[in-house]
């Protein structure tokens, strides 16, 4: 929930294990302690979506029996699969635009052991339309980074498990053309459409495809989005990579984004998520400012992690017996 | 995993039975195993070992989803 700076400092000084999201101007003022943090001024609170640089979103991780905190660069970020607790949960925060986030986004789906370690997280950001810099914080040292990931490893009590899930409003139409890419890339010029190589930017333009619709890949009924960041000089860039050997289709059009999002929230039926991270594109396109979406409260993010990097989704974690 | 459940899980991995979980990790796992089997049909034994390790790691999933798969 949202706290003032003074209230957050008090929680840290009590020695609580905390996950904190706030504008960087507030994170800079926090004392050392058992916390990790990431920058964003957008939130979904109990009172609805809001933009604030005056309060911090704090998750008290009371279910943790033990925590460890570490930071990683692009060369060692996948040590997270070796360093987590056997029965645990890993929270991972990476700065938007960082090399470590790019590395993680490209390689996470191919890291064999990752799925055996419940990992949830988000990409930190800044106020849109400003020249802000995304930051992450290792509260145990007080250090801030714009080029490293920070991880908190949480040991769960025996008999409890972390279950990570997502809410995604997009799906595909199996009669639409299949799009494939030749490599794992964050930007592309070429792709194949039903097996025929085409210029992807031309294809989008000629077919009149709305680039606000993500590409979706069907992972056994779980649709994973890849959102288009921009189309410039014949190159199509993405917020998360496309992968070779994965079939994509453009998501079917959503007439009323906000209504669809609220409907999917109601269907998901999570009881007591302990963490929840919602994409800035959902916040903007779903007109979530001022809207309540209980029980999902948390930071609004520039990317979500549920094992791998996701786009345009809400990810959440429940700790269940 | 008993023989009946194992047979059903193998059918799901081969795409002969359709099963979508409400659990993201299991769907990712099934998708991964299906792709592996499409590339190498002889890898079922290794896939089943991974599925068993997955189910041991996530007992809640094992309890609910294996029962659902058995009922397919």
Q: How far apart are CA B21 and CA B5, in angstroms?
A: 15
Quick check: is A171 in a domain? no
Quick check: is A172 in a domain? no
Domain containing A33: what range? 2-166+259-320
Q: How far apart are CA A177 and CA A248, in angstroms?
A: 9
- A22, A37 Cβ separation under 8 angstroms: yes
Instruction: Name the pLDDT band for A256 (thresholds 50, 70, 90).
Output: confident
Asked if A220 lies within 8 A of B20 by C-beta distance, the reply is: yes
Q: In whole angstroms, how large is the CA radius of gyration of chain A? A: 19
Least confidently predicted of A65-74, A109-118, A263-272, A273-282: A263-272
Mean pLDDT of A278-289: 92
Tokens standing for B21? Answer: 């979980």
Quick check: is A173 in a domain? no
Q: Which helix (H) or strand (E) holds A295?
A: none
Mean pLDDT of A276-288: 93
ipTM entry: 0.90
Looking at the fold, whether A22 and A68 belong to one and the same domain comes out as yes
Instruction: Name the pLDDT band for A112 (thresholds 50, 70, 90).
Output: confident
Q: Which of A225, A276, A283, A279 is nearest to A258 (CA)?
A: A283
CA distance A23 to chain B (A): 30
DSSP A105-174: HHHGGG-GGGGGS-EEEEEE---TTS-----EEETTTTEEESS-EEEEEEEPPTT-EEEEEEE------T
Mean pLDDT of A310-318: 95
Give the one of B24, B30, B53 whose C-beta lies nearest to A306's C-beta. B24
Question: Which position has the token pair 């099934």?
Answer: B30
Summary mean pLDDT of chain A? 94
Q: Which of A250, A281, A297 represents a domain boundary (last residue)? A: A250
Looking at the fold, whether A76 and A204 belong to one and the same domain comes out as no
Q: Which pLDDT score, from 0 to 100, does residue A316 have?
A: 97
As separate numbers, helices (DSSP H) first and strands (DSSP E) second, chain A gives 7, 27
Looking at the fold, whether A113 and A35 belong to one and the same domain comes out as yes
Number of domains in chain A: 2
pLDDT at A255 over 90: no
User: Which residues touch A265 (CB under 8 Å, ≥6 apart)?
Assistant: A167, A293, A296, A314
| Cβ neighbourhood burial of A220 (10 Å; 0-12, 13-18, 19+) | buried
| pLDDT, mean of each 10-residue run, chain B (72 residues) | 91 95 93 93 95 91 91 92
Side-chain half-sphere of A63: how many Cα atoms within 13 Å? 23
Q: Which pLDDT score, from 0 to 100, does residue A259 have?
A: 86
Q: Give me the residue spans of the domains in chain B.
A: 3-70
Looking at the fold, whether A242 and A272 belong to one and the same domain comes out as no
Asked if B28 lies within 8 A of A307 by C-beta distance, the reply is: yes
Q: Which of A250, A273, A304 represents a domain boundary (last residue)? A: A250
Looking at the fold, whether A155 and A183 belong to one and the same domain comes out as no
Quick check: is A174 in a domain? no
Looking at the fold, whether A222 and A286 belong to one and the same domain comes out as no
For the stretch A9-64, pLDDT in tens is 999 999 999 999 999 999 999 999 999 999 999 999 999 999 999 999 999 999 99
Q: Which of A86, A85, A79 is nearest to A111 (CA)?
A: A79
3-state secondary structure of A208: coil
What Cα–Cα distance (Å) separates residue B13 from each residue in A231, B24, B60? 37, 16, 20
CA distance A319 to chain B (A): 11
pLDDT at A98 over 80: yes
Looking at the fold, whether A53 and A193 belong to one and the same domain comes out as no
Chain B residues near residue A118 by CB distance under 8 angstroms: 25
Tokens standing for A189? Answer: 């010029």
Q: Which of A250, A284, A305 represents a domain boundary (last residue)? A: A250
pLDDT at A190 over 90: yes
Mean pLDDT of A162-177: 93
- A35, A17 Cβ separation under 8 angstroms: yes
pLDDT > 70: percent of chain A: 100
Asked if B23 lies within 8 A of A165 by C-beta distance, the reply is: yes
Chain A residues near residue B28 by CB distance under 8 angstroms: 115, 219-220, 222, 307-308
- A181, A225 Cβ separation under 8 angstroms: no
């Amino acid at each position: 929930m949202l706290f003032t700076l003074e209230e957050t400092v008090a929680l840290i000084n009590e020695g609580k294990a905390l996950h904190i999201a706030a504008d960087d101007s507030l994170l800079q003022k926090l004392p050392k302690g058992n916390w990790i943090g990431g920058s964003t001024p957008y939130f979904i609170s109990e009172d609805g979506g809001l933009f604030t640089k005056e309060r911090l979103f704090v998750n008290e991780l009371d279910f943790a029996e033990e925590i460890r905190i570490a930071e990683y660069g692009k060369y060692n970020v996948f040590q997270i699969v070796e360093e987590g607790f056997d029965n645990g949960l890993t929270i991972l925060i990476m700065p938007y635009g960082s090399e470590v986030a790019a590395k993680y986004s490209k390689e996470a789906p191919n890291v064999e052991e990752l799925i055996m370690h419940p990992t949830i997280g988000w990409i930190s950001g800044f106020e849109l339309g400003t020249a802000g810099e995304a930051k992450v914080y290792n509260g145990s040292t007080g250090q801030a980074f714009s080029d490293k990931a920070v991880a908190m490893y949480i040991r769960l009590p025996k008999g409890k498990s972390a279950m990570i899930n997502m809410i995604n409003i997009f799906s595909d139409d199996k009669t639409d053309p299949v799009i494939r890419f030749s490599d794992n890339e964050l930007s592309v010029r070429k792709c194949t459409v039903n097996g025929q190589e085409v210029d992807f930017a031309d294809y989008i333009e000629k077919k009149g495809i709305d680039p606000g619709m993500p590409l979706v890949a069907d992972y056994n009924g779980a649709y994973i989005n890849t959102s288009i960041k921009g189309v410039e000089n014949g190159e199509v860039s993405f917020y998360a990579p496309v992968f070779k050997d994965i079939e994509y289709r453009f998501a079917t059009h959503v007439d009323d984004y906000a209504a669809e999002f609220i409907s999917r929230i109601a269907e998901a039926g999570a009881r007591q998520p302990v963490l929840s991270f919602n994409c800035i594109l959902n916040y903007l396109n779903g007109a979530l400012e001022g809207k309540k979406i209980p029980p999902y409260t948390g930071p609004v993010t520039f990317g979500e992690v549920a094992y791998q990097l996701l786009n345009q989704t809400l990810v959440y974690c429940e700790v269940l017996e | 995993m008993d023989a009946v459940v194992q047979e059903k899980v193998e059918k799901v991995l081969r795409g002969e039975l359709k099963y979508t979980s409400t659990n993201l990790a299991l769907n990712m796992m099934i998708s991964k195993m299906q792709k592996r089997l499409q590339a190498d049909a002889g890898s079922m034994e290794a896939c089943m070992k991974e599925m068993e390790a997955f189910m041991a790691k996530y007992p809640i999933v094992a309890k609910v989803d294996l029962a659902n798969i058995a009922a397919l």
